[in-house]
Structure 1
């Protein structure tokens, strides 16, 4: 009996057709890792965070934060940034402006990422004006 080998890749159009009823929000995932240890990352952290907050205010930043070690006990200077951009090239241009990358403290990679599934919970307690995300 002959076995059919599964393909190594599918065209994006096929994936989009299979998930046509889902969200299909196109974003860009930027993974960022130190180039020369934690020292240069810490030295540029304040400027980097100000840049991230500016992107957030502009509506460009979807989410961002540190990546822990696999055992969740350490931070080695790595991060993940999710951007709203018109294209991968535009996302790369945004990432290049990050002071952490411009200084050479970190290097980055950009991957297109389509969100299909998930949930976000928001609770607003009016009496305390407390907002909780879940």
Structure 2
């Protein structure tokens, strides 16, 4: 048995054959100079996020809390549908939060294999629940 720190993507795909294997991109975003610049750009940022959602680009996004789950220090995670990592980088660069310099970001390819989403729609109660 060899001890390795990485394996080729093709081997991972072969091992997970039959699973979803949906390629997405994770944009990790973090403050550059505290919360002030983030709060100054939050409205434009959220409008951009909503547009990505409306255009079918956004898979999911939201803030990342501190480990004790009590505070927010300005970090976020954005998962997008894109044709390539370069396309995902272009999406991140166009975000007003990044264009303004309030946050920096990194982009990593992320493949969904496992998991599920449950959606309950109550007609009479006119309520939707996502789990």
TM-score of the superposed pair, with normalisation by structure 2 = 0.98
Residue number among 104, 113, 124 corresponding to 1:107 in the alignment: 104
Match for residue 40 of structure 2 among 38, 43, 49 = 43
The question of 1:116 aligning with 2:113 is answered yes
Runs (4+) off by over 4 Å: none
Distance in 1 separating the partners of 2:13 and 2:88: 21
Aligned equivalents of 1:7 and 1:80: distance in 2? 28
- Selected match of 1:19 from 16, 20, 44: 16
Within 5 A, what are the aligned runs for 1:28-67? 28-67=25-64
Distance 2:12 2:96 in 1: 35
**Alignment coverage as a number of residue pairs:** 131
Q: What TM-score results when the alignment is normalised by the length of structure 1?
A: 0.96
**C-alpha distance in 2 between matches for 1:129 and 1:25:** 32
Q: Distance in 1 between matches of 2:97 and 2:89?
A: 14
Unaligned stretches of 5+ in structure 1?
A: none
Q: Is there any run of 5+ residues in structure 2 with no aligned partner, and where?
A: none
Task: Determine the C-alpha separation between the residues in 2 that align with 1:67 and 1:8.
Answer: 27
Once the two structures are superposed, the pairs formed by residues 51-90 of structure 1 within 5 Å of their partners are: 51-90=48-87
* Distance in 1 of aligned mates of 2:5 and 2:41: 40
Which SS does the other structure have where 2:109 is aligned? strand
Measured in 2, the distance between the counterparts of 1:19 and 1:107 equals 33
Per the alignment, in what secondary structure is the counterpart of residue 5 of structure 1?
Answer: coil
Cα distance between partner residues in 2 of 1:79 and 1:7: 31
